[in-house]
Structure 1
């Protein structure tokens, strides 16, 4: 499973991102990653499986999950679903950070959870219509949601180990961003570690302990992730796609792909085209 740092870019007209999860067709995975933003995933139809810090959550209709800044998580959705995703840049909460520099949220009782669900659903419904003045209403509900989060959903105390993990993932963020920008190159562990002032042993250790994935697996998962986009978005040959994304040949790409998706790239492409 991959560990990666994800940059959250707000919608052009909003100070956050609001969209339908890209895995809506099913047979889709998002490998292990983390980011500085706070995310809310709210399932409208179907279900998805969420994994956060080694905990498994099965989300069905009207269920949601709060993903905090620098929490390692992954997603699997074997079946079609409709899931609203709200990504809130971490800097939004900078005035409310604790002495340790972090802020966490957690689900509360049914009344508070329902209020959050209603706000996110309404925000997306209004934004989707793109009516005159609608973005103002969405923004007003967004700030109402922020108030709800910091007053009702804030975690009172944070475990010291969790804080330590967040700090280590902060360190890894620059490394993984560099790897995302250069994943199709020959990225040796020793060379990447040296670039960021780490020993290879140290970088390998913090990858495994805090990102919960080893360096090589991360890199291969990253290559597969980007290759999948070309696989389903073009008619390029499998061998060409493999070479475009850092694999030495189609055989190594197919082996890595099958390990992660349970089938060969050609089979995956065929199934995706049929279900479009």
Structure 2
């Protein structure tokens, strides 16, 4: 199965990630991938083609799709569109998991679907304006949305094939969650493998198979992604940011950063400031 694992980091000071889909200009594809978060794609304008476990789900204006944790999906956007994406960390629903340890959601009646569309649209409008106190307001709608999902969109059971796939991907999800929580520490492959009862060879193999990168590359990607938030959100020195996110020094950070972003951290920070 040629798929990749997508790392999802919530917005600053919010328990979820909310943004406009990057394929808004059209002629854009997202290859098969999966993540531990639950995801909502809501099309505001235009159309996109969604594929979940090889099932085609076309989306038009005011239509949405619910992507459950550990579901393999891909996206094709041949034409311009405006799509809101809400990503909810899998741990958000841990108190409501079924007997098999999983929780799935699916679309329901028109009335219920409209409720969801209105909540997500309102959340995005509040978040986009960022007026005084917006975080409190958007969180209130977010928890209303969670209640709606749990009470009106939850499915009761999973078929055997879906359950088997989720269990396979859960092995890697547990490891990557531990890595997200401890990415700034010295996380050696051998030590992490022992912690989860794997051999280093097995852990390395499932990383390559499901994340499409090796363990070391995934760890460095993780560190860079978190470091970018501090880079653009503070005036901290580059060396301090490097140390805060698990890099040996600013040189190691700059090398990893340039490989992924095509420029040095200082240049990236300057460009972001100018764009703002």
1:125 is matched with 125
Provide, for residues 97-118 of structure 1, a one-character-per-residue CA deviation record: whole Å limited to 9, x for no partner. 1121110000000000000000
Q: Structure 2 stretches of 5 or more lacking a match?
A: 180-197, 222-258, 261-276
Q: Measure how far apart 1:199 and its partner are.
A: 10
1:109 is matched with 109
Q: Measure how far apart 1:198 and its partner are.
A: 6.8
Are the equivalent residues in 2 in contact too, given 1:2–1:31 (CA < 8 A)? Answer: no
Q: How far apart in 2 are the matches of 1:156 and 1:194?
A: 35
Structure 1 residues 153 and 26: CA distance shift in structure 2, 3 A: same
Match of 1:197 among 199, 202, 219: 202
**What CA RMSD, in Å, does the superposition of the two structures yield over aligned residues?**
2.9
- Structure 1 segment 220-239 matched on structure 2, within 5 A: none
2:168 is matched with 168
Q: How far apart in 1 are the matches of 2:132 and 2:203?
A: 52
1:3 is matched with 3
Q: How far apart in 1 are the matches of 2:128 and 2:171?
A: 37
Q: How far apart in 2 are the matches of 1:118 and 1:94?
A: 25
Structure 1 residues 196 and 167: CA distance shift in structure 2, 3 A: farther
Q: How far apart in 2 are the matches of 1:137 and 1:117?
A: 17
Structure 1 residues 2 and 160: CA distance shift in structure 2, 3 A: closer
The SS at the match of 1:167 is helix
Q: How far apart in 1 are the matches of 2:130 and 2:157?
A: 40
Q: Structure 1 stretches of 5 or more lacking a match?
A: 179-192, 227-243, 246-276
Structure 1 residues 91 and 48: CA distance shift in structure 2, 3 A: same
1:39 is matched with 39
